[in-house]
Amino acid sequence: MKHKNKYVIVRADRAGVFFGKLVEKNGTSVALKEVRKLHYWKGAAAVEEISQIGTKEPDNCRFTITVPEMEVEGFIQIIPCTSKAIEVIKLVKEWRA
């Protein structure tokens, strides 16, 4: 499977945008580990830019806590992340209530 055990950004039809390591892809479902939901961001035009360079405004983003594993149904995109993007995304402070 392409991108297995690599960090990716997954855009899902109704669930939002997620960052994590791709474990498995099965039909329209993906299993991820070390997962964060990218709820809101500034400093990047779209998920494609986040996947390549991260965000230029990490202090103005809302990325959730890290969940050990998750299955996401109805994905639309799976975009592999560069090492630079991974580093920037991991530096974004966890958004909590």
Cα–Cα distances in Å, from 13 out to 56, 72, 83?
26, 10, 26
Structural tokens at position 93: 């402070």
**Residue 79: in which H helix or E strand, if any?**
strand 75-80
pLDDT in tens, 39-78: 999 999 999 999 999 999 999 999 999 999 999 999 999 9
The CATH number of 7-91, from 2.60.120.260, 2.60.40.10, 3.40.50.720, 2.30.30.100, is: 2.30.30.100
Report the predicted TM-score, pTM, of the whole model to 2 decimal places: 0.95
Tokens 């965000």 sit on residue:
55
Residue 62, classified by CB atoms within 10 Å of its CB into exposed (0-12), middle (13-18) or buried (19+), is middle
pLDDT in tens, 18-48: 999 999 999 999 999 999 999 999 999 999 9
